[in-house]
Amino acid sequence: MHFSIPDTQECKEDNGSTYVAYNIHINGVFHCTMRYRQLHSLHEQLKKDLGGSTLPPFPPKKLLPLSPTQTEERRATLEKYILQLSQDPRVLNNDVFNGFLVFAQNETQRAGGGQDEVPIDIYLTSGQKVTLTIPATLQTDDLLEKVCNQIHLPNEMVYYFALFLVKKEENDLIVVKRLQDFESPYISQRCMKGLHRIMLRKNYWDPSIDQEVMGDRVGLNLLYMQTVQDVERGWILTNHEIQRQLAALQAKGAKKEYMELARTLKYYGYLQFQSCICDFPKPGTSVLISAGNKELNFRIECEDESVKEGNFKVTRIRCWRITVQQPCSEGSPSSTSRDGCASLEASQQVNLELSFEYLMSREEMRWVRVSSPQAVLMSLCLQGMVNELLSHKRGRKVRTPNERVRKGSLSYVRRDGSSTHVTLNHTGENLPQEGSSHGSSSSQSPIGELSLRRLSERLSDPLDNRPSSPARPNGQAEHTTVENDAFNIMGDDNL
């Protein structure tokens, strides 16, 4: 997860007075605009829910109006605060945190248009759709559970699947991102340019899970439809004879036999990304990347039109990071939205880069950089494969809807100062107990401090030595680094 506040807006109250609001981006995409007092309200509620001792300090309030220099300083300190806040899994899984972000997204985008409920279409990979009527602020996990309930997928299999935002482009569908619980799928889809669909897709990497899913009629249908689509798109490699066999099985409706054959083929279960640029084996290399089978697979077309292939095993990646290069908006005119705020230009795009530190040999670690609009999706794929490795080692199973019990409430403060009280009494995810750890000791460091300190101690990369500029006038790059716990379980057979 990468949070940033790259810029601010000057907004107008109903009485004509002005105030500064902060544009919050998540994973390189504009999410919402919030005032200082809204972020302060979120901080106070997190203190009550998680305990204040481990939260990063919140930037203090100023009594007098801020000068331009002070406004920039506050932007920088608020960005540091929310970046540190997002380093802790307890916060990212917290219902107050995620719910607050969804309400802020809704207020910023005015998505509901005053309607209590809105229609939404969820597509299966076959092209069939499930239409539901939902609140505009319904979060991703709740929508996922509703869809799976509608198609009668067993509860224990719900979180083997996820909702993805896909873009229709010519005769192909491009997976743009996996929707997460800090956002409303309805709002996120509504705010995208072009034709985008919300699609239900498989969300696990271990092929042994297939047997469990295929034991259920609905689960088998979902896997079968996605596999047929992957074969047709060329994501799974076949030859003429295999294509003939698959077509015959498909014509007979022999779904299980089709799946058994497809599971033996190269790149089965991989997610293929659009062609992008990397610096391996040399800068400026065009590469086709796929994620699956505990690895990132690189296919590089050589000058003689031959294809070279390389695999980067997840267990040999020590850490990875997302770099976000914000566009420079100086001098560009801004438009004004219905609530009086200067709106962001939808055409502004950020440059995303995934970098990972890889153990090439016993004595050599090397950074590999990939520049791609799908860098965040690649990062989530890496995280998913790592989580499965660790869960398998620790004997954990995938969560189920019955294990998600929301508790407590949140108070959302709007930009105009009014507030709404929300009781979290419907399905939701259990919060980890304070003092629980994800493979760490029971003593707690302030949120963000531990991971940031380890980063500065362990990583030495030339790009990190660049001088920083608080104002980032030229779209200065920002980093979020994830350390790979699966790197520590690598044995000699991985070398």
pLDDT digits (tens), the chain, 495 positions = 789 999 999 998 888 889 999 999 998 889 999 999 999 999 999 999 898 788 999 999 988 888 999 999 999 999 999 999 988 888 988 999 999 999 999 999 875 555 678 999 999 999 999 999 999 999 999 999 999 999 999 999 999 999 999 998 877 889 999 999 999 999 999 988 888 999 999 999 999 999 999 999 999 999 999 999 999 999 999 999 999 999 999 999 999 999 999 999 999 999 999 999 999 999 999 999 999 999 999 999 887 878 899 999 999 999 999 888 766 554 333 443 434 343 333 334 678 999 999 999 988 999 999 999 999 999 999 999 999 999 888 877 777 787 766 667 889 999 988 998 887 755 433 333 333 333 333 333 333 333 333 333 333 333 333 333 333 444 444 555 666 665 555 554 555
The string of pLDDT tens digits covering residues 344-376 is 333 346 789 999 999 999 889 999 999 999 999
Nearest to 292 by CA among 267, 260, 320: 267
251 Cβ contact list (under 8 Å, min separation 6): none
For the chain, the residue count is: 495
Rounded distance between C-alpha atoms, residue 168 and residue 175, angstroms: 9
Chain mean position to CA 272: 17
Nearest to 166 by CA among 238, 271, 70: 271
* Residue 317: strand pairing partners: 358
The string of pLDDT tens digits covering residues 152-177 is 999 999 999 999 999 988 778 899 99
158 Cβ contact list (under 8 Å, min separation 6): 144, 145, 148, 400, 401
CB 197 within 8 A of CB 123: yes
Rounded distance between C-alpha atoms, residue 30 and residue 327, angstroms: 12
CB 26 within 8 A of CB 324: no
Amino acid at 14: D
113 Cβ contact list (under 8 Å, min separation 6): none
The radius of gyration of the chain from alpha carbons, rounded to an integer in Å, stands at: 23
Nearest to 84 by CA among 447, 470, 457: 447
Helix, strand, coil proportions of the chain in percent (round to 5)? 35, 30, 35
CB count within 10 Å of CB 373 equals 17
**Token digits for 154?**
């067993």
User: Residue 229: exposed, middle, or buried by beta-carbon count in 10 A (0-12, 13-18, 19+)?
Assistant: middle
Rounded distance between C-alpha atoms, residue 310 and residue 314, angstroms: 13
State yes or no: cis peptide before 281, omega within 30 of 0: yes
**HEC string for 125-155:** CCCCEEEEEEECCCCHHHHHHHHHHHCCCCH
Rounded distance between C-alpha atoms, residue 124 and residue 225, angstroms: 8
